[in-house]
Amino acid sequence: QKEVEQNSGPLSVPEGAIASLNCTYSDRVSQSFFWYRQYSGKSPELIMSIYSNGDKEDGRFTAQLNKASQYVSLLIRDSQPSDSATYLCAVILRGRGSQGNLIFGKGTKLSVKP
Amino acid sequence: EPEVTQTPSHQVTQMGQEVILRCVPISNHLYFYWYRQILGQKVEFLVSFYNNEISEKSEIFDDQFSVERPDGSNFTLKIRSTKLEDSAMYFCASRQEDTQYFGPGTRLTVL
C-alpha cells in the first residue's frame, strides 16, 4: 500500500515564527515530492517541488528531503496569518504503471496567530 | 499566466442522474488528470489521460466513470449514474514535466 502520512494538526504558530510541517512516505519508489497549499474550499496550489536529498529554498519556504528516512518536510519562515491553510504533501511514484499521478497525504492544517 | 479552468463551479444533481464535469487544461500540456476530494478527506487520484486515451486509473474509477477529450481543448469527466457517495470536489489538473497545475474544482452535490 502506497501511503503518504502527515500529522493532521492543527499546528498553531505565532506570527513571525517558523512553522515546520512533516511528511513520511512508505514507498521507496517515490522519486518526486511536492508541497501544495490548500485554502478552505479551494484547489491545491503548488508551493515547492523537491527531487534530491537535502534542502531547497524558495523565499520563505524551505523543503527538506531525506530519502533514506523516507521523510520530507516544509519549513515556513516568518509565518504570516495569510499562510494559514492546509498543507498537502504529495509524491509521484516511478516505475511500471506510474503515469505521474500524485499521491497525497491528508494534509496538515496550519494556523498562524497574529 | 495560463491556468486550468473548470465548469461548472457547483453542480447539484439527483441520485441516478448523469453529470459531465468540464475542464480546459493549459494549452501546451499533454497529460491530464482528474482527482476528487470528499469533504474533510484527502485528495484522491481518479484517472490520467495522455494521447487521447486513459493511461492509468484508480480503483475509484469504475464503470460509472468515463473521460473524454472531445475537441482540442476540453477534457471531460462523466459520471453515468451518480450516487450519494460521489458528492465531492472534483479537480482537473494538467502537467508540464513533473508539475501538476490544478483547476479551481467543481463541487458536486448528489441529493
SS3 (DSSP) at A52: coil
B104's torsion region: left (phi>0), alpha (psi -120 to 50) or beta? alpha
pLDDT of residue A96 exceeding 70: no
What share of chain B in percent tops pLDDT 90?
86
pLDDT of residue A99 exceeding 70: no
pLDDT tens per residue across span B1-33: 789 999 999 999 999 999 999 999 999 898 999
| Per-residue confidence in pLDDT tens, chain B, 111 aa | 789 999 999 999 999 999 999 999 999 898 999 999 999 999 999 999 998 899 999 999 999 999 999 887 899 999 999 999 999 999 999 998 888 999 999 999 999
Query: Rounded CA gap, A108 and B69, in Å?
Result: 35
The shortest C-alpha distance from A60 to chain B (Å) reads 20
pLDDT tens per residue across span A12-71: 999 999 999 999 998 777 778 999 999 999 999 999 999 999 999 999 999 999 998 999
The answer to whether B100 contacts chain A (CB < 8 Å) is: yes
Q: For chain B, give the mean pLDDT.
A: 94
The answer to whether B55 contacts chain A (CB < 8 Å) is: yes
* Closest CB from B43, B48, B55 relative to A88: B43
Query: Rounded CA gap, B63 and B83, in Å?
Result: 13
Q: Please report the DSSP string for B65-101 in residue order.
A: EEEE--SSS-EEEEESS--GGG-EEEEEEEEETTEEE
Report residue B34 as a C-alpha cell: 482528474
Say which residues have a Cβ less than 8 Å from residue B62's Cβ, sequence separation at least 6. Answer: none
Search chain B and give the residue with CA nearest A31.
B98
What percentage of chain B's residues is helix, strand, coil (to nearest 5)? 5, 55, 45
The answer to whether B91 contacts chain A (CB < 8 Å) is: yes
Query: Rounded CA gap, B107 and A96, in Å?
Result: 33
Contact residues on chain B for A103, CB-CB shorter than 8 A: 45
Report residue B62 as a C-alpha cell: 469504475
Search chain A and give the residue with CA nearest B97.
A100
Task: Number of A to B CB contacts under 8 A, please give it.
Answer: 56
Is A103 in contact with A93 (CB distance < 8 Å)? yes
pLDDT of residue A97 exceeding 60: no
